[in-house]
Structure 1
Amino acid sequence: MKNNLESKIFRTMFVLKSILLRIGRYGIFYCCYPFLVLKPLNKNKIVVSSYFGKGYGDNPKYICEYLLSQRKDLDIVWLCKPEVIETQAMQFPIGIRLVKNRSIKALFEMFSAKIWIDNSRKSFYPPKRKGQFYLQTWHAGFGLKRIENNAVEKLKPRYVKLAKKDSEMCDLLVFESSKLFKNVGKMFWYKGEIFREGVPRNDVIVNNDPAVIKKVYKNYSIPSEKKIVLYAPTFRAGELVEVNSEFLENVRKTISMKFNKDYVLLIRLHPNDTENKKLILGDINSTHIIDASNYNDMQELLCATDLLITDYSSTIGEALVSDKKCFIYAYDYDKYKQNRGLVMDLIDLPFPVTMDQNSFLDSIRNFDLNEYLLSVRRFKDELNISESGHASQTLGDRILLEMSK
């Protein structure tokens, strides 16, 4: 009883401290506002954020790398959590400045920038000025989960308010191409321009970059003759994903026997699960099973992967556009479908779908690659699932055009 009371007091104090800090930062910013508003926008400045400051990756990364290849005079500011700046600074290329997110400096950087790029909803920002251009890349490709307005009954009122405000500020929204989501604008509370010609982060997968594959193998010291199977379960709100090392080793061995190749199994937890990584994975690492949750770019892992295992994750989209082998293991399917809701039943996917361990192992043993590829290509044609392979360039050129205005 005493511990519960102390925990509640601690959480309350933490929330109050966060609120007071935010009020203080905005207060200082607005004291300077009468002078700042007279300052013109910096047409060469771009302020970027990804997953609320969690690091360098996703769609913004690939757009920025294209921009850096085109112009050396750009001032690209990446907003990061303090721990990211301390531990991951070397992962950012030359030409990108790191600034602490949710700071006074972050407000000033955003206020003076011509371009904003984000892949999640903004919750800390100055007033958007006339002439600024906001590219919202979003952070998911083809997926089954109901999102945003399609899942409004599952969202917190504060998030819905933030989402609507974010969409009001947005000038261009990126979303995948399929016909699965028919009214994307309504789903995002958005009435503006939508880009549906490809997802920037998928360029590297569609083009199957050998340098990226080599990079992943080198990072984990995986011999070149071995193949990678990636297990990437999605986030379950309020529950931890269930991972069993003995079962995963059986999976790895079964895959190796089926395809007559030695496989290494990488586990990639959802970003929302990484803070509970020790509880989920324990001491699961071995020479054959490796925790890849901290690798900074999921797309690079997917590029190097030969076979993907997932459940309701949008990584199924990457498997579709790349024709990679993909297996669905959804041990909590009925419960998840009831709690979250899906826009398509799992069994309608062109992948082997199972809900228990024995059936999953059997699906590997009975896998037929030719039938699988025919099913995947038919599914993509029916739903118009496609990638250009140069979405980063197309969106990067659009940003350069906006900067010239």
Structure 2
Amino acid sequence: MSENPTFILAGNGPYDNRGCEAIVRGTTKILRHYYKDPSFLCVSFFQNKEQFEKQCKEEYDPAIIHEKANKRQSKFDPNWLLRLPFRTAYPELYKNWIYKEMIPYIENSTSVLSIGGDNYSLDYGIPRLFTYLDDVVLERKKPLVIWGASVGPFEKIPEYEQYMKNHLREVTGIFAREPATMEYLDKIGIKNNVYKVADPAFLMDAIEPPSDKKIEVEENSIGINLSPLMAKYFIDGNMESWINTANKIVEEITNITDNKIYLIPHVTTPISNDYLFLKEVKERAKTSREKIILLPPTYNASETKWIISKMRLFAGARTHSTIAALSSCVPTLSFAYSIKAKGINKDIFGHEDYCLNPEKLTPETVAKKIESMLDEGKDIRSELRAAIPKIENEALLAGETLMKITG
């Protein structure tokens, strides 16, 4: 393998989503293990110009360069109506417009990794942006790997599932991060290019915040991550009802422990902001407000992981907040609104006992589950200490598999 290879990490979201940053940090760690002095071009989707410029300015890894992918920013974009016929009438031109900043780099890249975790699913609508990415790369005869991902299911739209069956057979490799994806792909006949790995975020280092952001985490504290996204899976998307329920969940947890409760945001993008949501949840607390600490949105992914690692127990909605906890061997309750949380838990524990589905998210059920997990905390930590090295090794071996299949 040549020295100084360049990898394109494409299709990700902004670092304001700490999960997106965690995937990048873990991926660069994996590739550095197998390749000599690699460099990285991150081609990500941003919600505005300021977000992109901030990410470029705050990037601390000198081997990473950022570029932006193009998309209609919102329905208020004055040009969005013009792009609809453009997309329909000239799909090839449209694909190339989305990834025009990336295209000049493809020829000299070693391979392109489509990163982002759960982009190839129906969780956020039909994933055209990412199948377009695959097409743009494969048309230029470069390896395209769907990297450390959950894929599917697509069965809710049978004709689209058929399209994806054909599409997924064409990509160089699908590196699946949990067994649910493996089982689904096998069921629809995708086998020859599928490899079992673990989410690269398991390998991200936890870094203590610097002195200007120093935080003292009280011993035996409980960390909670709840997100506005969960309203979509709860009471028909009624945000007001979900805020009230989230508030009652937090208050019920304060009743079962004398220790501090840390509310920990993990995604703080303009369109989905855990911090603003958790701020509202805290402000509605009628009792024990002094026990509830809201973490400011100033910590990056590695710093947030360090804070989470100090918890006695963590309960989280955002998948990568739970990966930060699990990889730190912290007993973790996952609020599981998609297959990925269940799959990751099954991979680690062999069961889904530490997952709660949206329909079970009542204050009483959550508090009772946390209480029982606190009682079993020592045993859960022992299970995690035994299981996590295997998961980290699975994540690391993705680099070895990449070398084998891309030559």
TM-score category, normalised to shorter length: 0.5 to 0.7
Check conservation: 1:350, 1:376, Cα contact below 8 A. Answer: no
Alignment match, 2:183: 183
1:325 aligns with 2:338: no
- Counterpart of 1:113, as a letter, is S
- Counterpart of 2:198, as a letter, is G
The structural deviation recorded for 1:63 is 2.0
Secondary structure at 1:173 match in 2: strand
The structural deviation recorded for 1:396 is 2.7
Alignment match, 1:231: 225
The structural deviation recorded for 1:295 is 4.4
CA distance in 2, matches of 1:398, 1:116: 14
CA distance in 2, matches of 1:329, 1:106: 36
The structural deviation recorded for 1:176 is 3.4
Question: Gaps (5+ residues) in structure 2?
Answer: 70-97, 121-129, 284-291
- Counterpart of 1:176, as a letter, is R
The structural deviation recorded for 1:229 is 0.5
Secondary structure at 2:8 match in 1: strand
Alignment match, 1:91: 59
Aligned residue pair count: 331
CA distance in 2, matches of 1:51, 1:293: 20
1:289 aligns with 2:294: yes
Cα distance change on mapping 1:167 and 1:305 into 2, 3 Å: farther
Alignment match, 2:243: 243
CA distance in 1, matches of 2:251, 2:323: 26
CA deviation digits over 1:120-154, x for unaligned, max 9?
A: 342444251576222212445xxxxxx61x34216
Alignment match, 1:136: 146
Alignment match, 1:168: 169
CA distance in 2, matches of 1:184, 1:285: 39
Check conservation: 1:59, 1:199, Cα contact below 8 A. Answer: yes
Match of 2:10 among 49, 66, 70: 49
Cα distance change on mapping 1:248 and 1:322 into 2, 3 Å: same
Q: TM-score, length-normalised on structure 1? A: 0.61
Check conservation: 2:113, 2:146, Cα contact below 8 A. Answer: yes
Cα distance change on mapping 1:166 and 1:44 into 2, 3 Å: farther
- Counterpart of 2:38, as a letter, is L
Identical-residue share of aligned pairs (%):
9
The structural deviation recorded for 1:88 is 1.3
CA distance in 2, matches of 1:352, 1:275: 23
Alignment match, 1:23: none
Alignment match, 1:308: 314
Please list, as runs of the form range in 1=range in 2, the aligned pairs for 1:211-230 lying within 5 A after superposition. Answer: 211-212=206-207, 214-215=208-209, 221-226=214-219, 227-230=221-224
CA deviation digits over 1:341-374, x for unaligned, max 9?
A: x999x9x732385542234334444555338837
Cα distance change on mapping 1:85 and 1:173 into 2, 3 Å: same
Alignment match, 1:115: 111
- Counterpart of 1:46, as a letter, is F
Q: TM-score, length-normalised on structure 2? A: 0.61
The structural deviation recorded for 1:279 is 7.4
Check conservation: 2:275, 2:297, Cα contact below 8 A. Answer: no
Check conservation: 1:44, 1:73, Cα contact below 8 A. Answer: yes
Instruction: Provide the alpha-carbon RMSD of the alignment.
Output: 4.9
Match of 1:76 among 31, 35, 40: 40
Check conservation: 1:50, 1:57, Cα contact below 8 A. Answer: no
Alignment match, 2:379: 373
Check conservation: 1:274, 1:293, Cα contact below 8 A. Answer: no
Alignment match, 1:266: 264
Deviates more, 1:389-398 or 1:109-118: 389-398
Check conservation: 2:5, 2:110, Cα contact below 8 A. Answer: yes
Alignment match, 1:275: 272
- Counterpart of 1:351, as a letter, is Y
The structural deviation recorded for 1:266 is 1.4
Alignment match, 1:100: 68
- Counterpart of 1:358, as a letter, is E
CA distance in 1, matches of 2:248, 2:99: 45
CA distance in 1, matches of 2:265, 2:352: 23
The structural deviation recorded for 1:300 is 5.9
- Counterpart of 2:168, as a letter, is S
Q: Which has the larger radius of gyration?
A: 1
